Amino acid sequence: MTTGEFESTARLTPGARRGRRRVSRALLYTFLIALLLVFALPLLWALSSSFKSRGDIFGYPPKLLPSPATLDNYRGLLDENPFWSWLLISTVVAVISTVAAVLLCALAGFAFAKYRFRGKNVLFNVMFSSLAVPFAVIVVPLFVMLAKAHLTTPYFALVVPWVAPAFGIFMMRQFAEQSIPDALLDAARVDGCTEFGLFRRVVLPLLRPALGALGVWSFLNSFNSLIWPLIVVSDPGDYTLPLGIQALFGATNRQYDLVLAGSVLAAVPSLLVFFLLRKQLLEGLTAGAVKS
């Protein structure tokens, strides 16, 4: 800001300054609402189209609201396909993956943050550099490793890629470094606390916000995964929910009406997890933003 602009702003009356702030705030809210609509419109269209017949989905001009609305898509999805089996398998796999990821990432992150051992920096740098490798690049090597170890049974194979994500370890390490003072750990050791007891009684409670954020991230990644189940699952009886919905795109008959209904129902568990853990998610993402 130049000197002239500063003096001009300083000469404004309190009422003029309040008016300028209201205009700026109104412009900001307008931009945010427009941005929200850009992201929400595809979701609203999918929700609306799930109540349309297959012909109305591709009607022109497109209509946002179904006319008439029908539940035939949901009936067809639930009556003609093992939807509940898909949902159960996805939920079980996601819960197991999330619990394993939260525990293992917390252990690894705490070790990287608070322990000294040979090769620590090398191991952390190798782990951290793996974040730059897309998952699609390691799909084939990972499958080959599991196949040679005879560990390609569907439930085990579906869980493996999510049990120790590099992002989760990095997140726990950063949070532990900033939120757990060394003096507190030393005091617990002086009181006779074992290392495992130290982790369980002192570290885990302090890591709770980060654990909640990691739990939401891990659950959504595992629950919504498609590429990996597409490779390791061949029996239709073991399909996960994304894989089952993808199977509705037949070679000759693409059932867009059932796909939209399935997509809406598939979003419900993810939304429930987000709303139940949104407080922990926000705390975990913002806890390290300001240093004490």
Q: Is residue 170 within 8 Å of residue 109, measured between CB atoms? A: yes
| pLDDT-based confidence at residue 284 (cuts at 50, 70, 90) | low
When divided into structural domains, the chain yields a total of 2
Residue 161 located in a structural domain: yes
Q: What pLDDT, on a 0 to 100 scale, did the predictor assign at position 163?
A: 87
Of all helices (H) and strands (E), which one includes residue 80?
Answer: helix 72-80
Q: Where a domain ends, among 45, 72, 99?
A: 72
Q: Is the pLDDT of residue 250 over 70?
A: no
Instruction: Find the mean pLDDT for residues 36-52.
Output: 86
Strongest mean pLDDT among 93-97, 184-188, 204-208, 212-216: 93-97
Q: How would residue 11 be classed by pLDDT, with cut points 50, 70 and 90?
A: low
Q: Is residue 53 part of a domain?
A: yes
State which H helix or E strand residue 36 sits in.
Answer: helix 14-49
What is the identity of the amino acid at 7? Answer: E
**Is residue 291 assigned to a domain?**
no
Q: Which residue has the higher pLDDT, 164 or 17?
A: 164
- Tell me if residue 90 falls in helix, strand or coil: helix
Q: What is the pTM of this model?
A: 0.80
- For the chain, how long is the longest CA-to-CA vector? 77
Query: Which CATH number characterizes residue 153's domain?
Result: 1.10.3720.10
- Distance between the two ends of the chain, CA-based, in angstroms? 31
Q: What is the pLDDT of residues 79-108, one digit of tens each?
A: 888 999 999 999 999 999 999 999 999 999
Q: Is 207 a domain residue?
A: yes
147: pLDDT strictly greater than 90: no
Same domain flag for 93 and 51: no
Range of the domain at 49: 3-72
Residue 186 lies in a domain: yes
pLDDT digits (tens, 9 = 90+) for 119-146: 888 988 888 888 888 888 888 888 888 8
As a dihedral over the C-alpha atoms of residue 127, residue 154, residue 150, residue 220, rounded to 10 degrees, the angle is: 0
Alpha helices in 51-199 (DSSP H): 54-57, 72-80, 83-114, 120-129, 135-148, 154-159, 166-179, 182-190, 195-198
Same domain, 63 and 97: no
Q: What number is the average pLDDT over the span 261-272?
A: 87
Residues in the chain: 292
Residues 45 and 159 in one domain: no
Residue 242, token pair as written in the block: 């994304």
